[in-house]
Amino acid sequence: MTVRLGIVGVGVMGADHARTIASQVAGAAIHSIYDANQERARQIADEVGAADVAGDPRRLIDDPQVDAVLIASPDATHKELALACVAARKPVLCEKPLAPTSPECLELIEAELAAGRRFIQVGYMRRYDPSYVAMKNHLAAGQFGKPLMFHCVHRNVAAPPWFDGGMAIANSAVHEFDIARWLLAGELTAISIFRPANISGQSPGAPVFLVLDSAGGSLVTIEVFNDAAYGYDVRGELVCEKGTVELQRPVHGVVNHALLQGTAYPLDWRPRFQDAYRLQAQGWIEGIRTGKPNGASAWDGYAATRVAEAGLRSLKSGLREEISAVPVPKLYG
């Protein structure tokens, strides 16, 4: 059985998803594409062999020849589109964030609760990245004992012009919030934020340093530095009682040149997480075919957004902010 997909939004992210699915994912076929820019939609449809260009996202979602939907349109549209997918009872892979605020995320959760089933997967693709998976496997194997600290680093070459300081938390660190919850299998319960004083906090890519508590008692630290200049770099070290595991980014060669022995950093996240995106798409299709979802749920999207909101409060207050516990509905248990 081939899963027929509709894709809403083929900007940079959506087009990447479309190409990955068309060229490297088993069991899926792209049937229809929608983009506000219809010419763009047509062009990507041709490129990936999609039969149809939809004139309206709702029509795409309701198209009986579309089995499942991938949403990569602007953040502000995510909620309405995802609600439409739930209403149509179609599996949906929605790019992060699920919705800009936690109350909006809750609406989606309520829709799923009402429907009595999970339809939504949020695009926290790191859960499929081989280095995070290896880390989780090491932890599960038990050889290192209990996790005590999880140190994360998230660096971009340069913050885009439309970035502001809060986005380091709401757009960048959310990835770490999600992966820490997944890795440590528990909620984050408090957050404190620090900033170096020798760089203007107005500078959109200035570093922030976060310290969080997790429900299981581990400490999580996250550096986000969106103007790190030297390369796109995501690091993580899980410190356990008897040893530690560090992420390793994909490296295909070591170069000896000009008095340096070196390995390359990519300019942005795409080469770093290319495999994660592919495996996420494959895992999503697999989940649809087997009826067993394996990615981040709407609840996960909600939880990460709640941590980000506490982070933004801490950024303002300069204080440690608690993240109150919320009972998890059975559907997501």
Site for its own copies in 132-171 (CB under 8 A): 133-135, 138, 143-144, 146, 148-149, 151
- Supply 319's token pair: 């204080």
Q: 248 vs 294, which CB is nearer to its own copies?
A: 248
- Supply 36's token pair: 């506000």
- Supply 110's token pair: 């309520």
The helix/strand/coil state of 13 is helix
| Closest distance of CB 250 from its own copies, Å | 7
- Supply 204's token pair: 């959109």
Among 55, 243, 268, 329, binds its own copies (CB under 8 A): 243
x/- contact string, 201-240, with its own copies (CB under 8 A)? ------x-x-x-x--xxxx-x-x-x-xxxxx-x-----x-
The closest of 172, 122, 165, 150 to 303, measured between CA atoms, is 122
Stretch that binds its own copies, among 4-12, 15-23, 167-175, 302-310 (CB under 8 A): 15-23
Q: 76 vs 134, which CB is nearer to its own copies?
A: 134
The closest of 27, 1, 36 to 14, measured between CA atoms, is 36
CA separation for the pair 68, 87 (Å, rounded):
12
Beta bridge partners of 267: none
| Closest distance of CB 138 from its own copies, Å | 7
| Closest distance of CB 9 from its own copies, Å | 21
| Closest distance of CB 49 from its own copies, Å | 9
Query: DSSP characters for 74-112?
Result: -GGGHHHHHHHHHHTT--EEEPSPS-SSHHHHHHHHHHH
Among 39, 89, 202, 251, binds its own copies (CB under 8 A): 251
**Distances, alpha carbon 222 to alpha carbons 133, 152, 154, 306, 322, in Å:** 19, 5, 7, 16, 17
| Closest distance of CB 197 from its own copies, Å | 4
Chain centroid, CA 1 distance in Å: 27
Stretch that binds its own copies, among 37-45, 109-117, 174-182, 243-251 (CB under 8 A): 243-251
x/- contact string, 24-63, with its own copies (CB under 8 A)? xxx-x-----------------------------------
Q: Assess 284 for contact with its own copies (CB under 8 A).
A: no
Q: Are the CB atoms for 144 and 115 separated by under 8 Å?
A: no
One-letter identity of residue 95: E
Number of residues lying near its own copies (CB under 8 A) = 73
| Closest distance of CB 22 from its own copies, Å | 6
- Supply 146's token pair: 């209990």
Among 195, 313, 331, 332, binds its own copies (CB under 8 A): 195
Among 259, 292, 327, 333, binds its own copies (CB under 8 A): 259
The closest of 216, 215, 246 to 147, measured between CA atoms, is 216
Query: How many residues would you count in the chain?
Result: 333
Q: 55 vs 246, which CB is nearer to its own copies?
A: 246
Q: Are the CB atoms for 131 and 201 separated by under 8 Å?
A: no
